[in-house]
Amino acid sequence: MGSSLGTGQFTGRSKLLLAGALVLLAGWFAWNALNQWRAEQAAGQLQVARDAVVSGTADAVRRHQQEMARQLELPAVKAAAAAGDPAAFELAFRDGMRDVEDVKVYPADLAQAYADPAAFGWSRLALLEQAVLDGKAAVRVVKDAGAARLGVAAPIQFGDQPSLVYIRLQLPRLTAALDGAVVPGSAYLGLRQSGYTVVEQGRRELGSGGEAMARAVPDTGLRVVAALPDIDAGPLGLGALPCAIVALLLLVLTTLVVIGPSRLPLAAI
């Protein structure tokens, strides 16, 4: 009888050990499920934010193109342009658009720019060239006045000479959509023009991997880049939902082990 009681005690201890192991295994699967679920949620939020910034930035570019077109149609601006009077043109233009930082008119041949592109500014030259090619207002981030600015340029007839009008504005006029974006804490979101990051949010160390989720801003040289940290696959390569199901099944099995019928032999009674 003593031998049977010893067997019963061992069986009870074994059940507890097995139940503990099953709980630990269930916790591991549950943790993996939660970790992957959070990653999926962050990825979804980041994609929504990225697409909203693409749309908002495209709208901002269109607004600046339309604003330039409206300014050039103002009677005082048209009169100054027809007269070929730079001072009157700048005064009239600023009167209708008070936050403009600078207004310049260049001959359409861009001889001054091509004479010394480095001194003139490569980004400003690229903007003016784009306006010539498009035949309408072009918008681009430029380096001007020692910092990144928003440049807008458009073809214009200035006196009897085909010309280009260039204006410089504060950068937030373009970056407002990204500045106001809600970015998950683990993620990265940025606005780029060629290799230059105009503005960014989130974990900057992820910026080098941002091109994988990048989306171009239509009809501009801009793109919105985004990145998330790498997330390890779950056990056996399982995703969030399968991991959660396995965790639940393990907990059910744990319950069965704990409350299941005793395996004690009849001789122990």
Q: Is the pLDDT of residue 178 over 90?
A: yes
pLDDT tens column, 48-74:
999 999 999 999 999 999 999 999 999
Q: Which residue has the higher pLDDT, 147 or 11?
A: 147
Q: Point out which residues pair with 219 in neighbouring strands.
A: none
Amino acid identity for residue 155 in this structure? P
Q: CA of 104: how far to CAs of 54, 141, 165, 234, 246, in Å?
A: 30, 16, 6, 59, 68
Look up residue 96 and give its two tokens.
């209708």
* Average pLDDT of span 118-139: 95
* Average pLDDT of span 101-108: 96
pLDDT for the residue 266: 35
- Looking at residue 262, what DSSP letter applies? P
CA-to-CA distance for 207 and 244, rounded, in angstroms?
32
pLDDT for the residue 5: 46
Outline where DSSP puts E strands in 37-176.
102-107, 138-144, 147-158, 161-169
Span of 120-129, 166-175, 225-234 with lowest mean pLDDT: 225-234
Q: Is the pLDDT of residue 171 over 50?
A: yes
Burial class (CB in 10 A: 0-12, 13-18, 19+), 233: exposed
pLDDT tens column, 69-99:
999 999 999 999 999 999 999 999 999 888 8
